[in-house]
Amino acid sequence: MKKAMLIVNPSSGKEEALDHVEKIEKILFDKGYDVNVAQTEKELDATLYCQNACKDEFDLVVSLGGDGTLHETINGMVDQKHRPLLGIIPLGTVNDFARALDIPLDVEKAIDILKSNRAKEVDIGRFNDQYFVNIVAAGAIAEATYEVKPQQKTKFGPLAYIMEGMKTISNNSSYPIRIEYDGKVWEGGSFLFLAALTNSAGGFEKLSPEAKVNDGKIHCYVVTQVNMIRLASIVSAILRGELKNEKDVEYFKADHIKLSSEENLVTNVDGEEGDSLPVELSVLPSHIRVVVE
Ligand SMILES: Nc1ncnc2c1ncn2[C@@H]1O[C@H](COP(=O)(O)OP(=O)(O)OP(=O)(O)O)[C@@H](O)[C@H]1O
């Protein structure tokens, strides 16, 4: 019999993950799986459970949670020799990775996808000694995203990030950064640096439309400066999916990036606090397989 592990975070989003376990168990049982249910209690449990599933050669791991749980689950499989197929049930408040893979945000519809026999290969990003699936951001606005409270995200969605970000515009300007990428160098002032593997971050589905989940590239956007007047134009460009064409935005794609600054700049990695600069990013092309419609 094939083996599946459900990694369930009961605290994600509206705290409904456990309500869906029985239905998923039945679907997978009908597909010939023996199902283990592993409930997370704290940070990094999902990583540990997924590592065990890889070592025990499970065929499928399903993450029931938000982007945090998914990020931890994927971090548990990236380094492993045997990497199970990944199923995603989006139960968080934002669910960027599900958006990028066209997995419905409607839970019942997402569960039905587990009946599918289709899988898509997906790139994984390496960020120093950890991994990311959506985006790395660096700059004051990245720091501001830590200030966004779960209640704000639920109430305002992606707008919550803009509201926090606007505060940083009144507080400071840009920082000097140096980007070494694929043998080239870009140096200059940056208000915000983004390195995207997928189109969606912070719930903005058109933030980086150039980034396809398995194109083997990191798509970089440097917003060199911004002020209150330019902000409306940049936000509008983000909503239209045209950030790269905006004045004061540099765009390039690369396989390998070294990012540094004379200033102490923090990063945000898939929505969580990451290492301060300098950092190194690269791509593991088509490294995992995800169940899709
Ligand atoms: N039983 C638990 N109680 C509280 N926190 C938990 C538990 N299990 C895991 N966690 C932690 O909760 C974090 C957040 O989970 P997750 O991202 O899935 O939900 P969310 O924050 O509601 O969603 P989103 O990231 O979309 O806002 C995980 O990164 C994990 O470290």
Give the Cα-Cα-Cα angle 186, 275, 199 (nearest 5 degrees). Answer: 65
Q: Where are the domains of the chain?
A: 2-116, 132-286
Among candidate residues 205, 210, 272, 293, the one labeled active-site is 272
pLDDT exceeds cutoff 60 at 226? yes
Q: Evaluate: CB of 92 within 6 angstroms of ligand 1.
A: yes
Q: Which residues contact 185 (CB under 8 A, 6 or more apart)?
A: 178, 179
CB-count exposure of residue 60 (10 Å: 0-12, 13-18, 19+) = buried
Model pLDDT for residues 242-287, shown as the tens digit of each residue: 999 988 899 999 999 999 999 888 888 887 888 999 999 999 999 9
The residue to mutate among 40, 103, 153, having the most atoms of ligand 1 within 8 angstroms of its beta carbon, is 40
The residue to mutate among 11, 47, 132, 269, having the most atoms of ligand 1 within 8 angstroms of its beta carbon, is 11
Termini Cα distance of the chain:
24
Q: Evaluate: CB of 158 within 6 angstroms of ligand 1.
A: no
In CATH terms, the fold of domain 132-286 is: Tumour Suppressor Smad4 (2.60.200)
Q: Evaluate: CB of 39 within 6 angstroms of ligand 1.
A: no
Q: Evaluate: CB of 157 within 6 angstroms of ligand 1.
A: no
As a whole number of angstroms, the distance between CA 71 and CA 256 comes to: 21
Q: Evaluate: CB of 94 within 6 angstroms of ligand 1.
A: yes
Q: Which residues contact 170 (CB under 8 A, 6 or more apart)?
A: 228
CB atoms within 10 A of CB 282: 14
Tokens of 236: 């509008």
Tell me how far the alpha carbon of residue 15 lies from the centroid of ligand 1, in angstroms: 10
Please give the single-letter amino acid code of residue 77: M
Q: Nearest C-alpha to atom 30 of ligand 1 is from which residue?
A: 43
What does the radius of gyration of the chain's CA atoms come to, in whole angstroms?
Answer: 19
Tell me how far the alpha carbon of residue 28 lies from the centroid of ligand 1, in angstroms: 24
Model pLDDT for residues 164-213, shown as the tens digit of each residue: 666 666 555 678 999 999 999 999 998 889 999 999 887 888 889 999 99
**Range with lowest mean pLDDT among 7-21, 182-196, 223-237:** 223-237
**Same topology for domains 2-116 and 132-286, yes or no?**
no
Would you call 272 a catalytic residue per the annotation?
yes
> What percent of the chain has pLDDT above 90?
67
pLDDT-based confidence at residue 94 (cuts at 50, 70, 90): confident
pTM (2 d.p.) = 0.89
Please give the single-letter amino acid code of residue 22: E
Q: Nearest C-alpha to atom 6 of ligand 1 is from which residue?
A: 42
The residue to mutate among 41, 69, 71, 200, having the most atoms of ligand 1 within 8 angstroms of its beta carbon, is 69
Read off the pLDDT of each residue in 34-63 and give the average, rounded to a whole number: 98
Closest atom of ligand 1 to 46 CA is 9
Closest CA to 197 of 92, 71, 81: 71
Q: Which residues contact 86 (CB under 8 A, 6 or more apart)?
A: 60, 61, 62, 63, 73, 74, 77, 288, 289, 290, 291
Tell me how far the alpha carbon of residue 43 lies from the centroid of ligand 1, in angstroms: 8
Q: Nearest C-alpha to atom 17 of ligand 1 is from which residue?
A: 68
DSSP the chain: -EEEEEEE-TTSTTT-GGGGHHHHHHHHHHTTEEEEEEE--STTHHHHHHHHHHHTT-SEEEEEE-HHHHHHHHHHHTT-SS--EEEEEE-SSS-HHHHHTT--SSHHHHHHGGG--EEEEEEEEEETTEEESSEEEESHHHHHGGG--HHHHHHHTTHHHHHHHHHHHHH---EEEEEEETTEEEEEEESEEEEESSS-BTTBTTSSTT--TTSS-EEEEEE----HHHHHHHHHHHHHT-GGGSTTEEEEEESEEEEE-SS---EEETTEEEPPSSEEEEEEEEEEEEEE-
As a whole number of angstroms, the distance between CA 109 and CA 157 comes to: 21
Homologous superfamily of the 2-116 domain (CATH): Probable inorganic polyphosphate/atp-NAD kinase; domain 1 (3.40.50.10330)
Tell me how far the alpha carbon of residue 40 lies from the centroid of ligand 1, in angstroms: 9
Beta pairing, strands 218-223 & 192-196: antiparallel
Query: What integer pLDDT is reported at residue 186 of this predicted model?
Result: 96
